[in-house]
Structure 1
Amino acid sequence: MAETILLIMTFIALAIAAYRDIKVREVPDTVSIGLIAIGLLGGLCIAIISRTPMLFITHIYGLLVGALVGTIMYYSRQWGGGDAKLLMGIGAAIGFTTKQPMLLEFIILLVLCGAAYGLCVTLWLALITHRKRFLPVFKETLRSRAVHRSRIGLVLLGTASVIALFFVDTDMRILIGFTLLGAYLLTYLWIFSKAVERGVMVKEYKVAKLTEGDWIAHDVKSGGKIIVRKDTPGITAAEIALLKRRNIRTVMVKEGIAFVPAFLIAFALLIALRYALGDGWALALLP
C-alpha cells in the first residue's frame, strides 16, 4: 500500500513538473526537492512498518543512482538542473535493488521515450513553428566544410562497402547494408540537429532576464578577455552579476526543449508495463 502511494505521488509530482516545464520552461525546486524528501520519508516509513531497515537503504541507493545519472546528463549539457534533480527524486521514491530494478527500467524507458519525444518536438519546431528561421540555416549548414568532409567520408565508406559485398556471404551483406544505412541516417540527423540548434534553439537574451543554469551559446568577452565560457554546464549567479557589472546588455543563449513531459510519459508507460507484465518485465523480454 505504501509503495502504491509513493508511485501515485511521484506521478502527481511529474505531472506538475511537466506542466511547469511546458508553461515557463522551469522545474520548481519545491517539486524536485519535495519528491526527494517524500521518497526518503516514504522509504523510512516502509522500513519501520515492515521492520526491515534495508528497505530504507534501497531508497538511498535509488537517490544515489538518480544523482549519478542526472549529474552525467547535466554536465554533458543534455539536461538542465531541474531534470537532473527530478531524476534524483524519482530514484528516491522508487528505490533501487538488483532483484527488482524498477529504476533501471524507468531509465531505459526514459531513453527510448525521450529520443522519440525529442525528435517529434524538434521536427515540429523546425518544420512548423520556426520554419522560416530553420530552412536558411539548414541550407547554409549543408554547404559547410564539416558537412562536405562528412559527405566525402560517406562516399568512401559506400565505395568500400560495395567492394566488400563481392567477398562476403549473404548475412554479412545484410549487416554491411544496415551499417551503411545507419551511417547515412546518423550523418544527416547530425546535420539536422546542428541546423536546429543554430536556427531555432539559440536566441538573444537580455542579461536582466537570465536565470541561473541557462546555457550560454557563445563565449562572452569583455575587455578582450573571456568572462563567461560557453562550455560550462550553466551560467551561475556570480557570472550573471559579473555581466551586469560589465554593462553587457545581451548574450546568446541555447534553449532546450521542455523535456519533463518525456519523464511523465516514461513513468506512465513503466506503471502500465509492470501492471500488464509484472515485476521485472524488462528481464523477461531478454532472450
Structure 2
Amino acid sequence: MYEVIFLWALALAWIIFAVIQDLKTREIANWLNFSLVIFALEFRFFYSLFNNDGFSFFYQGLIGLGVFFLLGNLFYYSRVFAGGDAKLMISFGAILPTSSFFILNIQSLLTFLLIFLFSGFAYIFATSTVLCIRHFKAFKKEFARQLEKKKKLMISLTLLGAVLILLGFFEIIFSIIGLSIIFISYLYMYSRAIDEVCMVRKIQAIHLREGDWLYTNLKVGNKIIKSNWNGLTNEEIKSIRKKYKQVKIRQGIPFSPNFLVSFIIFASFKIFNLNLWNPLW
C-alpha cells in the first residue's frame, strides 16, 4: 500500500506546483510535467525490481501512460486543452494505475476521466459565472451583439427546438433533443460573449511568451503572423516586438485547478472504496 501512497503524494505535490505556476504565469512548464512522468516510472521500475511480484506494477504504469497519451493528444488537437494541460493529463497516466490487474486499472482510468469531466464542467461554469457577474455590463452588451450577429441561425435553432419540444407530447425523446438544441445554442453564445469580454487583454509586447494566443492576425513587414491554436513561437515574438509595443492576446481559464480537485475526489473514492463500476463491471 505504501507504493500507492508514495505515487499519490508525488502527484499531489506536482499538481500543487502546477496550479501555482498556472495561476501565476498562465502556463505549466514542460519540465514539471515530464519530471512527474520520469519520477513515477523510475519509482515503479525500482519497486518492481526489488519486489517479488515481478514487473506488473511497472508495466501497468506504462500502459496508463500510453492510454493518457492518446487522451491528452485527443483533447489537445480537438482544442479542449492547451499544451500544458494536455501534458499534465498525460503525466497522470503514469500515476493512476495502482493494481496488478489490467481491468482494474482501466476502471481507475475511466473513473478519473469521468470525475475530471464532470468536475471540469462545474469548474468552467462556476468560473465563467463569476467572470460574467464581474463584467456584467460589458457581458450583456457583447451577448446581445453575438445574438444579433447570428440572429437568423439562433431564430432557426430556437424554432426547431420549440417544434421538437411540442412533439415531445408524443415521444419524450423529442423534448430532450429540442431542449438540448436550445440550451447548447445559447450556451455557445454565452461562451463567445465571455471569451470576448473577459478572455481578451492588451499587453506589452515585451511580456509576450511562447505559446501565447494572438487575438487577431498581425502584419510584420510582408509577413502575416496568424492567430492560431498552437500559439506564438519565439521567432514570431521577436518579429512582433520589432514593430508593436502592445498587442491583444486571448487567454483561457486556467484549468489546472480542476486536475487538483479531480485527483482529490478520485483518491477519496479509492480510500472509501467507492466503485462506479459495481453495477456494470
Structure-1-length-normalised TM-score: 0.87
- Local SS of the residue matching 2:272: helix
- 2:235 aligned with 1:238: yes
Distance 1:100 1:82 in 2: 25
Distance 1:285 1:18 in 2: 35
**1:271 pairs with 267, 272, 279, which one?**
267
Q: How many residues align?
A: 275
Distance 2:137 2:161 in 1: 34
CA RMSD of aligned residues (A): 2.2
1:184–1:240 CA distance, 2 compared to 1 (3 A): same
Distance 2:16 2:145 in 1: 39
- 2:38 aligned with 1:43: no
- 2:248 aligned with 1:252: yes
Aligned pairs for 1:70-89 within 5 A: 70-89=72-91
| Corresponding position of 1:179 | 177
1:238–1:67 CA distance, 2 compared to 1 (3 A): farther
Distance 2:78 2:212 in 1: 14
Greater RCO (CA < 8 Å, at least 6 residues apart): 1
| Corresponding position of 1:108 | 114
- 2:277 aligned with 1:283: yes
| Corresponding position of 2:201 | 203
Structure 2 counterpart of 1:57, one-letter code: Y
Which 10-residue stretch deviates more, 25-34 or 193-202? 25-34
- 2:217 aligned with 1:219: yes
Structure 2 residue ranges without an equivalent (≥5): none
**2:162 pairs with 155, 158, 162, which one?**
158
- 2:7 aligned with 1:2: no
- Local SS of the residue matching 2:47: helix
Distance 1:46 1:121 in 2: 41
Distance 1:224 1:160 in 2: 52
- 2:15 aligned with 1:21: no
- Measure how far apart 1:22 and its partner are: 2.3
- Local SS of the residue matching 2:203: strand
- Measure how far apart 1:225 and its partner are: 4.5
Structure-2-length-normalised TM-score: 0.88
- Local SS of the residue matching 2:248: strand
1:193–1:147 CA distance, 2 compared to 1 (3 A): farther
Aligned pairs for 1:57-76 within 5 A: 57-76=59-78
Distance 1:106 1:56 in 2: 20
Which 10-residue stretch deviates more, 186-195 or 149-158? 149-158
- Measure how far apart 1:143 and its partner are: 1.4
Q: What fraction of aligned residue pairs are identical, expressed as a percent?
A: 25
